[in-house]
Amino acid sequence: MKTLRKLFSNKLAVLGGIFILLFLLCAIFAPWITTYDYSVQDLMNTKVPPGGDHIFGTDALGRDVFSGVVYGARTSLLIGFCVLVLGGGIGILIGILAGYFGGWVETVLMRIMDSLMAFPAILLALIFVSILGSGLKSAIIAVSLAQVPRFALIVRSSVIQIKSNEYVAAAEVLGQSQFKILFLHILPNGIAPIIIQASLSFGQSLLIVSGLGFLGVGADPLSAEWGAMLSDARTYLMTVPHLAVYPGLAIAITVLGFNLLGDGLRDALDIKNY
């Protein structure tokens, strides 16, 4: 309760939570919020300005921009969830193994993670996409792999601190298996920094995947994905600016929301030097 009170007293964190709530509502209720199918083209009503039946206007193919932005939230939710499950899961496992066993296991795993951390996340994702091929699935896998080192380094640091506690030594004396010690004692007590990193990684993942979509190596250019919509809009930036404004705002607001919430969680959970 103390943590929640501290979190809700942080106005910026609450603002971030509101942004995320709007994002989730759009993703969940997209079919009921929109009145047009984004995949349907209406070449008789192209580049219509915002207002009337199309509150965000239409694009060069006559598709409703509002529908694209709303359904883009659903695509972004899928991307973020997959990245957390895949990238976060692998990173947490590597961090646990490196932090608990130490020695050559830690040296090998952490040197690999350090090598990956030497590259900016977007560049690392581009490298993986060039290997896996373009497309949304490849982009998700690439961004997930790019997030692995961040989870691994944070979890390793937590495990090193936690494994020196007396209750871990007591579990070892009682003869509990290493699996139980890792997943019943160490991991639950190190969950706070993982939650914070998950919030920050969600926003960063959306930004990277949108960047890949803008470069044409992410989602299908015709799909409802914010980066792909921005890529389509750049041709008409001077003549039909609303095509870029709305998906750009959706990306900015959503990423800002997750970053604000992550900072608020860090303060509420009292994580120092994170």
Q: In angstroms, rounded to a whole number, what is the distance separating the alpha carbons of residues 151 and 191?
A: 11
All structural domains of the chain with their residue ranges? 2-268
The residue behind tokens 């939710």 is 77
Q: In angstroms, rounded to a whole number, what is the distance separating the alpha carbons of residues 259 and 251?
A: 12
| pLDDT in the model for residue 169 | 77
Average pLDDT in the chain = 85
Q: Read off the pLDDT of residues 5-15 as tens digits, 9 standing for 90 and up.
A: 888 888 898 99
Residues linked to residue 54 through DSSP beta bridges, in sequence order:
51
Residue-wise DSSP of 151-203? HHHHHHHHHHHHTTSHHHHHHHHTT--HHHIIIIIIHHHTHHHHHHHHHHHHH
Q: Count CB neighbours of 110 within 10 A.
A: 19
Give the closest residue to 106 by CA, choosing from 157, 46, 48, 179: 157
Q: Which residues contact 194 (CB under 8 A, 6 or more apart)?
A: 88, 92, 151, 154, 155, 158
Whether the per-residue pLDDT at 227 is higher than 50: the answer is: yes
Determine which helix (DSSP H) or strand (DSSP E) holds 213, and give its type and residue range: helix 191-215
| pLDDT in the model for residue 2 | 73
Assigned CATH for 2-268: 1.10.3720.10
Determine which helix (DSSP H) or strand (DSSP E) holds 61, and give its type and residue range: none
Give the closest residue to 254 by CA, choosing from 225, 232, 231, 214: 225
Which residue type occupies 70?
Answer: V
Q: Considering the chain, what percentage of its residues have pLDDT values greater than 90?
A: 19
The residue behind tokens 């030497």 is 118
Q: Read off the pLDDT of residues 42-99 as tens digits, 9 standing for 90 and up.
A: 888 888 888 878 889 888 888 999 999 999 998 888 888 888 899 999 999 999 888 8
**Residue 274 confidence class, pLDDT cut points 50, 70, 90:** very low
Q: In angstroms, rounded to a whole number, what is the distance separating the alpha carbons of residues 253 and 4?
A: 23
**Do 189 and 102 meet the contact criterion of CB atoms below 8 Å apart?**
no
**Do 251 and 202 meet the contact criterion of CB atoms below 8 Å apart?**
no
Q: Which residues contact 46 (CB under 8 A, 6 or more apart)?
A: 58, 59, 60, 61, 62
Whether the per-residue pLDDT at 149 is higher than 60: the answer is: yes
Q: Which residues contact 116 (CB under 8 A, 6 or more apart)?
A: 124, 146, 148, 149
pTM equals 0.86
Q: In angstroms, rounded to a whole number, what is the distance separating the alpha carbons of residues 155 and 149?
A: 10
| pLDDT in the model for residue 159 | 86
In our burial notation (b when 16+ CB lie closer than 10 A, e otherwise), range 48-66 reads beeeeebebbbbeebbbbb
**Do 236 and 47 meet the contact criterion of CB atoms below 8 Å apart?**
yes
**Residue 259 confidence class, pLDDT cut points 50, 70, 90:** very high
**Residue 19 confidence class, pLDDT cut points 50, 70, 90:** very high
